[in-house]
Amino acid sequence: MPRSNNDKHPLFYVAEGTWPRVALAPDAPLSAYCGLLLARDLDQTMRSRGLSLRGLAEIAGVAHSTVARVLNGDVLPDIGTLTRLEDALEHQLWPGPSAVRAAVASDERRMR
């Protein structure tokens, strides 16, 4: 699936660490940070609620492989998938621009 500005999947931009506990490369686009924050939040929310991939997928009406790919940084979810996941979890996963900017700033400080 093509991405705006030819951004690659978030996992592509890992500089160090193991997904999703990683630092992204200095040239990582904002979409990679968004995917990283979303994957971290999705993982934490699923753990706190005792939900498996298949359990969440069934509740949300999405393929379990899609949930796995989002968690693994292999894909950014489309708006429909994101909406279904957020509705199923009754939790906002989209980090928003201020959280993305904070993550970028944090990585920049860490990489100095």
Does 3 score more than 60 pLDDT?
A: no
Q: What is the mean pLDDT of residues 101-112?
A: 81
Can you give the pTM of this predicted structure? 0.89
Q: What is the mean pLDDT of residues 26-31?
A: 92
Does 44 score more than 80 pLDDT?
A: yes
- What is the CATH code for 4-37+45-111? 1.10.260.40
Does 21 score more than 80 pLDDT?
A: yes
What confidence tens digit (pLDDT) does each residue in 50-83 have?
Answer: 999 999 999 999 999 999 999 999 999 999 999 9
Q: What residues does each domain of the chain span?
A: 4-37+45-111
The DSSP letter of residue 26 is T
In angstroms, the CA 83 to CA 91 distance is 10
In angstroms, the CA 57 to CA 101 distance is 30
